[in-house]
Amino acid sequence: MNSKIEWTTDTWNPIVGCSIATPGCTNCYAMAMAARIEAMNAEARETEQRSGKKRTIAAQYDGTTKKVNGSAVWTGKLALAGDSILLKPFKVKKPTTWFVNSMGDLFHEEVPDEWIDKVFAVMALNPHHTFQLLTKRAKRMRQWFDADRAERVGLTMLTIVDRIPYGHRQVPWPLPNVWLGVSTERQQEADERIPGLLATPAAIRFISAEPLLGPIDLARAVRVSGGADYRSHIIGKHLDWVIVGGESGPAARPMHPDWARSLRDQCVAANVPFFFKQWGAYRPLTEIEKVTACGATIVYPEPTIRNGPQGGVYMLQVPKKLAGRELDGQLHDAMPTDHVLQAPKRRVTT
């Protein structure tokens, strides 16, 4: 496994760069990572100038971040990586699950349609892989999936390889090896993004409630009404997977345990696979800690969290690894794999 992200195998970043959209972006790890890559680029160029030795430089990251009050922030610049990265999935013969664009948003408003066409063409030409796309721009994603998009992707495929295993008009649509997801950190974002996701053709639809910054009622987000059984049935009919995780890092915001429990219980009722990724920088106290822990080591979450479903809760601030991934003593690693349509095997044409 080449990725530290628990719910995928590897990452693929054909497009990099982004801009802050909602509160979930505030402590985005990708901003800090992009800034580090920019700094390494500068160091590599300086070393190359002094020694004359060629250094590897990820030039596509240049200009994607800037410093604001000492922290890295997206500038809004987007960049398409070179062919060595764009065509990376071709080099991996073993079936792999790829998280697409962990360092940006494929459906950002400033990404040209032609760039997205190229990414989908590569995914169409690698049906032995599974690709997970996660966006905060559900509206743009829905707009891209217009009536002639399959034909556009098919034509783009012809520019990538000379001969393909099936004619461009036979591209299965939606691509059976592509999962589409939206980030939903609060009810507001869930309400705004889930309807767009549900209106987009996809083999698998999922949400990532990370960092989870508030309670989410999935039934409200999919705009249904009625009794609990009906609501659960509708959720399960439209969503194939739910990921939940707390925020990590030095400026992390605590996640109320009841927010995670609520989403878990909604998934159980609707028979939807539930994946609890992490607590992040804060975890609930154990029963022993509630009695013996020193008050100085315990932090009270911010006021909005104290008003959670079960009222106030003490949380312990610890490194992410020590916080663990258990929710009420259990790991939740369910995946929607059993629901994935089988893509046609890739054939080599001579």
Which pLDDT tens digit goes with each residue over 240-264?
A: 999 999 999 888 999 989 999 999 9
Please state, for a pLDDT cut of 70, what percent of the chain lies above it: 83
Binning pLDDT at 50, 70 and 90, where does residue 339 land? very low
- Angle at which helix 113-124 crosses helix 149-160, to 10 degrees, equals 70
What's the pLDDT at 59?
93
Instruction: Assign 227 a pLDDT band (cuts: 50, 70, 90).
Output: low
Can you tell me the distance from the alpha carbon of 234 to that of 236, in angstroms, rounded to the nearest whole number?
A: 5
Mean pLDDT, to the nearest integer, of 297-311?
48
At residue 31, the pLDDT reads 95
Q: Give CA angle at 198 (193, 200), nearest 5°.
A: 100
Q: For the chain, which residues make up each domain, given as ranges? A: 18-77
SS (H, E, C) the chain: CCCCCCCCCEEECCEEECCCCCHHHCCCHHHHHHHHHHHHHHHHHHHHHHHCCCCCCCHHHCCCEEEECCEEEECCCCEECCHHHHCHHHHCCCCCEEEECCCECCCCCCCCHHHHHHHHHHHHCCCCCEEEEEECCHHHHHHHCCCCHHHHHHHHHHHHCCCCCCCHHHCCCCCCCEEEEEECCCHHHHHHHHHHHHCCCCCEEEEEECCCCCCCCHHHHCCCCCCHHHHHHHHHHHCCEEEEECCCCCCCCCCCHHHHHHHHHHHHHHCCCEEEEECCCEEECCHHHHHHCCHHHEECCCHHHHCCCCCCCCEEECCHHHHCCCECCECCECCCHHHCCCCCCCCCCC
Give the range among 18-22, 153-157, 226-230 with minimum mean pLDDT: 226-230
User: Which residue has better confidence, 229 or 37?
Assistant: 37
- At 208, the pLDDT band (50, 70, 90 cuts) reads very high
Cα 200 to chain centroid distance, Å, stands at 17
**pLDDT (tens digit per residue) in 136-148:** 999 999 999 987 7
- For the chain, what is the mean pLDDT? 85
**Position 1 confidence tier, pLDDT thresholds 50, 70, 90:** low
Task: Give 341's pLDDT tier (boundaries 50, 70, 90).
Answer: very low
pLDDT in tens, 312-324: 677 888 889 999 9
**Average confidence (pLDDT) over 218-224:** 80
- Residue range 23-80, pLDDT digits in tens: 999 999 999 999 999 999 998 888 878 887 777 789 999 999 999 998 999 999 999 9
